Structure 1
């Protein structure tokens, strides 16, 4: 124990910042994921593997893909910019944040209206073999998910502002939509319509957005004022250039979720619901295991880069990546053995049958294969983002999606939903290899502009 304490004391302060941030994120994520797991138990008990769950999974993925894509792209480029603007004067910082908020509101309102208006076309062209009951339920659910588009963008901006200050309470608040859905199910016993899911989702996003906005405003020193679109801040030229490049890669990767939903919809037999249960259970492992380190690392690596020490940043990233790769391998071995037990413990009750348990566990096992590569690559992604290597990241993202799309076409007809998960695992293997060699080649470059 004494030797371990000595080793920890010898760690570089930046390693300690990542480790401490990761522990805070993991703690908040664990609480949040527990809330999500309880929600999933309630959904499984109430709805089982059914048309309602098919509709919820399809609507959630398809309606959220664009705002989530934009949040992913903007967060990666925003956090380094927000780290830099922390050292600017109060007026410049306040102006930049007001302008950001203004554009997010404008964009969010437009996307919400477009999502609601074009949803019938989405169902028609991307719904595959979804049943008429599933399509009707999705039409009702879009009444919640369309306004949630605006709320998702607001949540994403507030999250980026908090992460720039190395504050990670947002990971705990991510559980609010799950808690609201759980509450909606509990207060409507016997109601198997879409409305507990609809109202729980909408209220959850609303509460989360309001709460995060208050926390972000406090973290930024109480910068107030109404959101006002504008481009007067000195941060905009570099940010827009980087965001445009990054958005290309994020759009490519964002199609993975809708692609899986469309592929599963063509399989029929509630494949969407089966894939959804396995994916959400897998996200519990991914969230706690990898996201904790990845979310904690970007502001630290960006700060190290801004101090002019890229060699230190690369060394840190490679060490953390190797550690996370080993953690992922252990997670696969343990998860493969425990998959049926985990699914049974969480879901098998009420409308969720033992046959459903076997189907979901089988899909989950193939999804577990992605863990080592997902865990290992996440920290390398943060390093490239801290160096503004957005063009390279976009190229890798497009290559990842191309492989994923090809593997879905080949594996899904042969293996079913398991093939969709295996295709995802192969995609992350390619991603890890690309980023690993990119870090070896470019990781010590002092260039900070977009490449």
Structure 2
């Protein structure tokens, strides 16, 4: 036993301190992410039992996608572009606080604008998604978009607060992601005389508000606090912010457009297709979102700090090593998921309005979709290095090319495979992205 302890201690000592920090951060984030994502499973079980694959859940899924698409895009862009800047700028506290005050004001204005935009564009967006102008699904989707408009602004605020906590490596904010699914679940099962859409919308809005309150409380407990509000935009950091956010937003916008595109394709494949696709995507998203939480939130601040300290070679080496580790982990997860997906879906979802045929369709979709995990995991690690290195243009170009690959595959495969083509096109998209990103990290 003693020789084993000595060997373990020697092995740990041989690991670079920053890699040990990544492991420690990853372990903390993993525990918090799993705790938060358990409530996502509860949400899916509740929705499957209450609504199955009916019109109500189809409309809610499409309305939520439309209302949250742009905020999610902005949040993912801000997290990737702002974290390295927040990490490096904190060395000059006065300049840092000035920048934060201006960012707070920008986020507040954007949140109000996004709420208005979602409400105004509801008729056009619902028609685009459903592919019909008079159907029941279209009418219900349009009504839900208008009532979900506040989610657009609230989601942006929540994501921004989470980004600031990520930069400070205060990972407890991950728990906040549990509140929206908790709200939806409670709304769906509440013994009140609500319509289906009222239950879902009220639950989502309430959960998101609670999430924001929780994140604000965490920020108030830090030395930095929430910060003030300033509209003078005189911070010297704005040129770098515009370069990072602007360039990344182009690539992320192109990549994230695949979400509504997928649902629009699914809506044209018949009733229940959107719901089946969303159940499958959310179950797969348990793996991909945890990967983003663990990999991105642990690696990005560490890579950013190494590059800010001038140790570019170390960051590159660690990025490559972690990409390999994450890729292998993705293979293991995909293999386990392939075996377990059928029994797990029947156990979790097959009850109430969700029947055996629904379970079989979702299980097949999940099996195809989890083939993306090795590519997605490794790609997520490399993207953190590209962002920390300031290679925003490369990230955007690769994202644009990947979307072209996906749409091409959709056009070729949907006539043959129908709904299953949506999953296989995503696998092809991430496989292409990884190959392109590896070429970047291997180049000098």
Q: Secondary structure at the match of 2:121?
A: helix
Q: 2:125 aligns with which of 122, 127, 130?
A: 122
Whole-angstrom CA distance in 1 between matches of 2:423 and 2:101: 41
- Is 2:77 the partner of 1:77? no
Whole-angstrom CA distance in 2 between matches of 1:51 and 1:130: 15
Whole-angstrom CA distance in 2 between matches of 1:56 and 1:407: 27
How many residue pairs match? The answer is: 440
Structure 1 segments unaligned to the other structure (5+ residues): 443-451
RMSD: 1.7
Task: Give the C-alpha shift of residue 131 in structure 1.
Answer: 8.0
Structure 2 segments unaligned to the other structure (5+ residues): none
Whole-angstrom CA distance in 1 between matches of 2:223 and 2:54: 45
- Is 2:407 the partner of 1:405? yes
- Matched with 1:313 is 315
Whole-angstrom CA distance in 2 between matches of 1:28 and 1:98: 29
Whole-angstrom CA distance in 2 between matches of 1:359 and 1:126: 22
Q: 1:105 aligns with which of 105, 108, 129?
A: 108
Q: Secondary structure at the match of 1:194?
A: helix
Whole-angstrom CA distance in 1 between matches of 2:39 and 2:317: 36
- Is 2:336 the partner of 1:334? yes
Within 5 Å, give how 1:239-250 maps onto structure 2.
239-250=241-252
- Matched with 1:92 is 95
Task: Give the C-alpha shift of residue 436 in structure 1.
Answer: 0.7
Task: Give the C-alpha shift of residue 54 in structure 1.
Answer: 0.6
- Is 2:443 the partner of 1:441? yes
- Is 2:150 the partner of 1:182? no
Task: Give the C-alpha shift of residue 223 in structure 1.
Answer: 5.0
Q: Work out whether residues 162 and 219 of structure 1, in 8 Å CA contact, stay in contact via their aligned partners in 2.
A: no
- Is 2:212 the partner of 1:213? no
- Matched with 2:49 is 45
- Distance 1:345-1:4 versus aligned 2 partners, 3 A rule: farther
Whole-angstrom CA distance in 1 between matches of 2:208 and 2:397: 33
Q: Work out whether residues 67 and 153 of structure 1, in 8 Å CA contact, stay in contact via their aligned partners in 2.
A: yes
TM-score by structure 2 length? 0.95
Task: Give the C-alpha shift of residue 289 in structure 1.
Answer: 3.9
- Is 2:71 the partner of 1:67? yes
- Matched with 2:351 is 349
Q: Secondary structure at the match of 2:239?
A: helix
Question: 1:286-344: CA deviations, max 9, x gaps?
Answer: 22345312221000000000110111001111111101111111111111111111111
- Matched with 1:149 is 152
- Distance 1:217-1:413 versus aligned 2 partners, 3 A rule: farther
- Matched with 2:11 is 7
Task: Give the C-alpha shift of residue 130 in structure 1.
Answer: 8.8
Q: 1:286 aligns with which of 283, 288, 291?
A: 288
- Is 2:392 the partner of 1:390? yes
Task: Give the C-alpha shift of residue 224 in structure 1.
Answer: 3.5
Task: Give the C-alpha shift of residue 170 in structure 1.
Answer: 2.0
Q: Secondary structure at the match of 1:82?
A: helix
